[in-house]
Amino acid sequence: MGPMSRISISTRHFARLLASVLLVLQSAQLVAQVPDREALGRPGPYQVAYYSQLPPQAEFSAATLYFPANKGGDFGGIVVAPGFIEKQENIAWWGNHLASHGWAVLTLDTNEPRDNPQIRAEALMAGVRLLIGENTRMGSAIRGKILADRMAVMGHSMGGGGTLLAANENSDALKAAIPFTPWLPDGDFGGVSVPTLVLAGEVDRIAAVADHAWPHYESLVNATPRMYLEIKGGNHFIANSMTENEGLNPNIDVHDLVGSMAVAWLKLFMDGEEDYRSAVFGAMPASDRERLSRWEFVE
């Protein structure tokens, strides 16, 4: 073999190598693309499975665990509580939505439909312990797939008051809190030290923002970052499952908006994915900004 043929072989190898390098660079670029917040309001990349045969807890009754079936592991966990005389079905869409974006989500029924926010806070924390327990329980469908140090709480109305109380008392065990149209008179949450996203409805007649969501947000002096996102013309049910059945007038569906901000919030603060910072704090498209009556945050 003369020197020329040796060079031509190397050239062919080099061309192949170059092609692979370009391919890798191209996919790396795809991965590094800034996440589009609006896309986070649509179902995520994972198929959702769920089960409800779970170890019984004293602090709540029935529960459902949603999870991303085609994700290998590394699931953060989120527990969601319903409001006064509500059931899981009133908040179930969060289970599907958040699991499709990669997390294990536990929705629960309170023991009594009228349980107060403090009892809902205790139910939420029992839910966190249940999720962590599913990581080691024999027969758990998500055994070995949960990250115990990535837990968040959410809830509607009295469940939102419970969310804030849970975070107020247990910030060490949590990474984020997302109360939606929260209800708790004189709620004071200076003990919350995890990033907290408050979702509110401008014309909520059950938990008026002036007495609930807004002063709740203002009391979050140690929750940095924090955000208050108030839906223009939004009622008490803007972040519940069935906006058509549950809403008093006016009746609007903003699942895309509240769903996308919640996913961005959890990606950034629970999973620590800095790529999502601009989705959370960056300028909103006018079409979204116009749907808000108030938007304030401390980054």
- Residues designated as active site: 157, 204, 236
Is 237 a binding residue for ligand 9J3 by CB under 6 A? The answer is no
Is 69 a binding residue for ligand 9J3 by CB under 6 A? The answer is no
Helix (H, G, I), strand (E, B) or coil at 176: strand
Amino acid at 284: M
Q: Which is nearer to ligand 9J3, 7 or 248 (CB)?
A: 248
**Placement of tokens 């959702």 in the chain:** 48
Is 183 a binding residue for ligand 9J3 by CB under 6 A? The answer is yes
Q: Which is nearer to ligand 9J3, 163 or 219 (CB)?
A: 163
Is 195 a binding residue for ligand 9J3 by CB under 6 A? The answer is no
Tell me how crowded residue 176 is: count the other CB atoms within 10 A of its CB.
25
Residue 4 DSSP one-character state: H
Smallest CA-to-CA distance from 213 within 180, 258, 250 is with 180
**Contact in structure between 157 and 83 (CB atoms under 8 Å):** yes
**How many residues bind ligand 9J3, per CB under 6 A?**
7
Distance CA 146, CA 163 (A): 21
Site for ligand 9J3 in 144-163 (CB under 6 A): 157-158
Tell me the closest approach of the beta carbon of residue 285 to ligand 9J3, in angstroms: 31
**Placement of tokens 């809403």 in the chain:** 247
Q: Which is nearer to ligand 9J3, 66 or 237 (CB)?
A: 237
Q: Which is nearer to ligand 9J3, 140 or 163 (CB)?
A: 163
Smallest CA-to-CA distance from 230 within 251, 209, 260 is with 209
Interface residues with ligand 9J3 (CB under 6 A)?
Answer: 83-84, 157-158, 183, 206-207
